[in-house]
Chains A and B, each alone.
Chain A
Amino acid sequence: MKAFLTIVLKEIRLFLRSTGLVAAVLFFFLVDVYIVGNDIEIEPKNVKIGYVDYSDSPLANRILSKLHEPEFKPPIMFKSQKELTRAIYEKKIVAGIIFEADFERRYTRGLNTKIDLLLDSTAATQSLLTLNYLQKIILSLSERTPPVELKIHKLFNQNADTKKFMPLAELLSILTLFGVILSASVFVKEKEQGTWDIMLLTPVDSKVIIFAKTSSQVIILFLLTMISTGIDLFGIFDLPLNGSFLAYMGLTILFLYSIAGIGLFVAAVSNTIMEVAQWSVFLMMPIIFLSGAWTPIYSMNEYLQYLSYLSPLRYYIEGVESVLFRGTATADLWLYFAGMGAIGAILFGIGYKKIGRLF
């Protein structure tokens, strides 16, 4: 126990003394989470569109006037279809609308009327948004009410505010990356300095050394998560806390040990901090992509959906969402605890065995 405490305290002391690392970590956990939560928008804004109006009609103007800020920049007028097409090629605009000369005439007479729409499909969301808007505008022109009305009830996130979900996803992704890097470098730094051999020769059980070093990083990461949760999530973004905070802390600690298991594996195969960085990025990508943090799991390929059960982040994200947004009772969270506990035990076991072989 004394050895365990000695090692944990030493690692925390060394962490606090590496000012560059402390600064980087604080930046990511506080500033980066804030920036991502605040500024990254899934909804398009300021989409640039252009038009050619051969009809020169009030109706065309009426349609165009409905494409306004913040979604669209004021539409740019072009003289000919050729110029419009070139503008799309040169990426000056993403969508172009063409009104034929007989546009208004045909419409008022009730004939089959068309608007040509050119879309740059490489900017998929923006062009789809334009299409969507145009359809709505045209529908509203007809002044007919649709036969079925949709009555929408938004649950859990009443304003359908991405600003509540984005910072959480970003925090959890950062936690994954730093979890692997910190828990691996705490071993690899000793390899680099040559103190690893001396550590191995102290009469301390290898299990204690490994567990103490890992725990020191789990403690650091746990505190960082709590600080970020307090300041960024609850403070700035005003996330709800509908469930038990203790359950949130429990999930976090379980998750950190699972990630530390991956860190142990990385530490066993790396000899320099450089290799740790490479391995971490390499392993982190699938963990995050398969977790459902940035893409919903149900829209993945079926095989990938099965694979996503292997990502500890999946259980963590779903569990945390349940606690914060849905207010699931702690007892009903057992599935997430069990899933993450199992994955965590496996990952930690593999990592421990791999690095333990060096003893």
Chain B
Amino acid sequence: MKLEVKNLTVKYKNKTAVKGVSFGAASKEIIGLIGADGAGKSSLLHAIAGVLKFEGEILFDRYRYTSPKEAEPIKADLALMPQGLGLVLYDDLSVKEHLQFFRRIRNIPEDPEYEERLLKMAGLYRFQNRLAKNLSGGMKQKLSLICTLLHRPKLLILDEPTTGVDPLSRRELWEILEETRKSRNIIILYSTAYMQEAKKMDKILLFDSGEIIASGKENELLQLAKPYTYQQTECEECFCFDGRCYSIKPLDAARTEPSLEALFFINALKKGEREKPINIIPKQNEMPKIIVKSVGLTKRFGDFVADDHIDLELKRGEILGLLGANGAGKTTFIKMLLGLYPIDEGELWLLGKRIKSYQDRIELKNRIGYMSQNFALYKDMTVKENMEYFANLHSLSKKDATRKIEELSNGLGFREYLDSFPQSLPMGINQRFSLATAILHEPAVLFLDEPTSGVDTVARAGFWKLLHNLKKRWNISILITTHYMSEAEYCDRVVVLKEGKKIVDETPERLHQKFPGLDFEEIFINFYRSENASGSN
């Protein structure tokens, strides 16, 4: 059994999402697609699944198809799990009813033994009567996965099944996949935004702007990157991040071991992209030592406890990473700090002031900056108009506003985009412009809700550098949420939330000391495990 994709192209009205991609896969292989949002992974997977029009041809198990219509006969052997937590599930059906439903809709005979095995594999055997809406994000994804496995597909297509899922559930999901391919003839296509998952894949396809920029096993890919990877040094026409520099021209520095990210930097260099210089003018700000202090902060939605007695401190000039899976309570926590949700229990101090009512917040509003998920700004106004609008609302004078917009658009490198509309911008530029809007009024503290989610490697690296630069020049404090565990590395301190509870509050250095040689993914799995163990007692 083989899958062969030849010269596949997917075009939308005004965009080519996949540009002539070819690759092959053999039985029992897991093929990984790694890349940012908008790189073309989903389009490619949907085309192979026969639900999206495409050009080119696909051969599966000696059957050839060039359109969704021709793919119809093989759909019985095919399974697609689309992106999004629990998207294929029905909130008000129980776990058991889901299996029943998918069995009937697929018209397959009942096989209690197989269903039991799947349930046990997914760790859902005990929760068969639980409604889908009451499952955690990780459990939802495991249930979605076993529902797609029910008809024993030969080609399993999983579109970002683990994005936003906690590391422990992610590991369990992988175990299900390993089991499945051991026992059966199956080809698995798997897309992800997490580089760490590359280790488990038989072949990796790295995606950027609709093209495969490199493919192979993990160590083969690392070999490709090796000649271009140097230790941290001063250089031009290069990208430097996280203690490494990448350059096509030879550098006068020692080489070092690359990571998979290196290939994205090298690809960007080959395309002629350069690091956008950051130039932030220093500011002196009077600030208390403790910027945010929460004691026992709690938020409930009905019976559901979104945040359970969270204690947290954000100190002056600190970047605090708030990590956790989707649904762990990160956004709810930030919204409580900001006053977008009322606080159900606990005490909160902002910039040295005890917050008891809405009135307490009003005078602090000019000292707080906030960037919401998906960089939300007005899409029918240009970058400049957006910035002017918020400058006005923060009662900056016209002269000050013009000066600040000039300064920040230059400093953060999006000057040439001032008259464009936000949706036409590359994601990295959009991210910088949103940040600039959030800091127009020179706040003392900045709250960032998932600013790096789905953003490509190069832009993400640039963004983290920008935050550190900002912290250094303005002595600003930053609270940032992310579901990328690896980003703990770039924070001064990390707090991990799991189902509304705080399970880690530590500096990255201390964590590395405690767990030498492990990456953050593995470190946090330890905490998740011990939390589970103590939770069941």
A interface residue numbers (CB < 8 A to B): 2-3, 6-7, 10, 13-14, 17-18, 193-195, 197-205, 359
Contacts beyond the supplied A195-B372, A198-B370, A201-B340: 17 A-B pairs with Cβ under 8 Å: A7-B393, A13-B385, A14-B378, A14-B381, A17-B380, A194-B372, A197-B335, A197-B370, A198-B390, A199-B393, A200-B339, A201-B365, A201-B368, A202-B390, A203-B363, A203-B394, A359-B358
**Quick one: which of B362, B372, B393 contacts A197, CB cutoff 8 A?**
B372
Chain A residues with Cβ below 8 Å from B338 are: 197, 201
Nearest-CB distance from B148 to chain A (Å)? Answer: 29
Contacts of A18 in B (CB 8 A): 380
A194-B373, A200-B340, A201-B338 known; A2 and B381 CB under 8 Å?
no
User: Is B376 on the interface with A (CB-CB < 8 A)?
Assistant: yes
Query: Interface code B344-374, partner A: CB below 8 Å = 1, 0 otherwise?
Result: 0000000000000010001101101010111
Give A119 to B222 CA distance when docked, in angstroms. Answer: 90
Question: Within 8 Å CB of A198, what residues of B?
Answer: 370, 372, 376-377, 390
Asked if B379 is an interface residue, CB under 8 A from chain A, the answer is yes
* A202 / chain B contacts, CB cutoff of 8 Å: 365, 390, 393-394
Residues of chain A within 8 A of B394, CB atoms compared: 202-203
Q: Closest chain B residue to A10 by CB distance?
A: B389
Contact with A along B315-350 (1 / 0, CB 8 A): 000000000000000000001001110000000000
Contacts of A200 in B (CB 8 A): 339-340
CA distance A195 to B363 in the complex (A): 21
Residues in B with CB closer than 8 Å to A6 are 389, 392-393
- Which residues on the A side are within 8 Å of B393 (C-beta)? 3, 6-7, 199, 202-204
Interface residue ranges, B against A (CB under 8 Å):
335, 338-340, 358, 362-363, 365-366, 368, 370, 372-374, 376-381, 385, 389-390, 392-395
Task: Give the complex CA separation of A359 and B366 in angstroms.
Answer: 16
A194 → chain B closest CB, angstroms: 3
How many angstroms between the C-alpha atoms of A359 and B381 in the bound complex?
Answer: 25
CB distance from A354 to the nearest CB of B (A): 16
Taking CB atoms, residues of chain A closer than 8 Å to B358 are 359
Assess the B362–A203 pair: CB atoms within 8 A: yes
The minimal Cβ–Cβ distance linking A355 to chain B, given in whole angstroms, is 14
Task: Tell me how far the C-beta of B346 lies from the nearest C-beta in chain A, rounded to whole angstroms.
Answer: 21
A173 to B288, CA, bound (A): 58
- In angstroms, Cα B373 to Cα A201, docked, is 15
30 contacts between A and B (CB under 8 A): A2-B392, A3-B395, A6-B389, A6-B393, A7-B393, A10-B389, A13-B381, A14-B380, A14-B381, A17-B381, A18-B380, A194-B372, A194-B373, A194-B374, A194-B376, A195-B377, A197-B335, A197-B376, A198-B370, A198-B372, A198-B376, A200-B340, A201-B338, A201-B365, A201-B370, A202-B393, A202-B394, A203-B366, A203-B394, A359-B358
